[in-house]
Amino acid sequence: MDIADVKRELSSDEKVLESAFKLETLYKKYKVLLWGVAVAVVLFFVGRSALDALQQAKLAEANEAFLTLQEKPDNAEALATLEAKNPALFELFSYAQAVKSEDVKQLRVLQKSQNFVISDLSSYSANTLERKPATSQLYKEMALLNEAYLALKVGNTQEAQRKLEGIGQRSVAKNIATLLQHATLKVK
């Protein structure tokens, strides 16, 4: 080993030591910030895990209440639990029960729901049960069939024809619409 090699080794050792001192200086300067960020990251993940666990527990309680209601639909405790823990599922259950029991009053209440599907279905079902013209975005063709039938019932064949023409060729309801159109021919 000659002097040039020794100088290079000392020079590289000095650079390592210099970097270590710079790192230590930076650490001392930003120690509070670094620890704060580390604690914030840990708290974020712990908090997120806790919220996920609470959400899972809430859903589990709602599911238990729903299963209880499947067996005993009039269980007040299960109804209250379901309403508190999962309002959307509560509305769906209420809709199913109202349709099953033909409870127009409950359907009218559900018609004001924030959930578009429940609101639309409740409105359609209530109007259908009351034998009134029903509009629905989800049951568009069925609503047109219902309106055509009601028009035929009062003898308004032109209105019935107009409603039936609104049902597309690819619709599942087209066969029924065709039968009703034949009925309008016989009424004339």
Q: Give the Cβ contact number of residue 122 at 10 Å.
A: 26
99-102-108-114 Cα dihedral, nearest 10 degrees: -10
Q: Please give the Cα distance from 156 to 188 (Å, whole number).
A: 10
- The pTM of the whole model exceeds 0.85: no
Q: Please give the Cα distance from 188 to 176 (Å, whole number).
A: 19
- Residue 6 per-residue DSSP state: H
Predicted confidence pLDDT, tens digits, the chain (188 residues): 677 766 666 677 777 777 878 888 888 888 899 899 999 999 999 999 999 999 999 989 998 999 999 899 888 999 999 889 999 999 999 999 999 999 999 999 999 999 999 999 999 899 888 888 777 888 888 888 888 888 888 888 888 888 888 888 887 778 888 887 776 765 54
- Residue 133 per-residue DSSP state: -
Q: Please give the Cα distance from 51 to 90 (Å, whole number).
A: 22
Helix (H, G, I), strand (E, B) or coil at 155: coil
pLDDT score for 162 = 86
Contact between 89 and 66 under an 8 Å Cβ cutoff? The reply is: yes
Phi then psi for residue 74, to 5 deg, are -100, 10
Domain positions in the chain: 1-85
Q: How far is CA 119 from the centre of its chain?
A: 14
Q: What share of the chain is helix, strand, coil (3-state, %, to 5)?
A: 80, 0, 20
Q: Give the Cβ contact number of residue 112 at 10 Å.
A: 10
Contact between 65 and 81 under an 8 Å Cβ cutoff? The reply is: yes
pLDDT score for 43 = 95
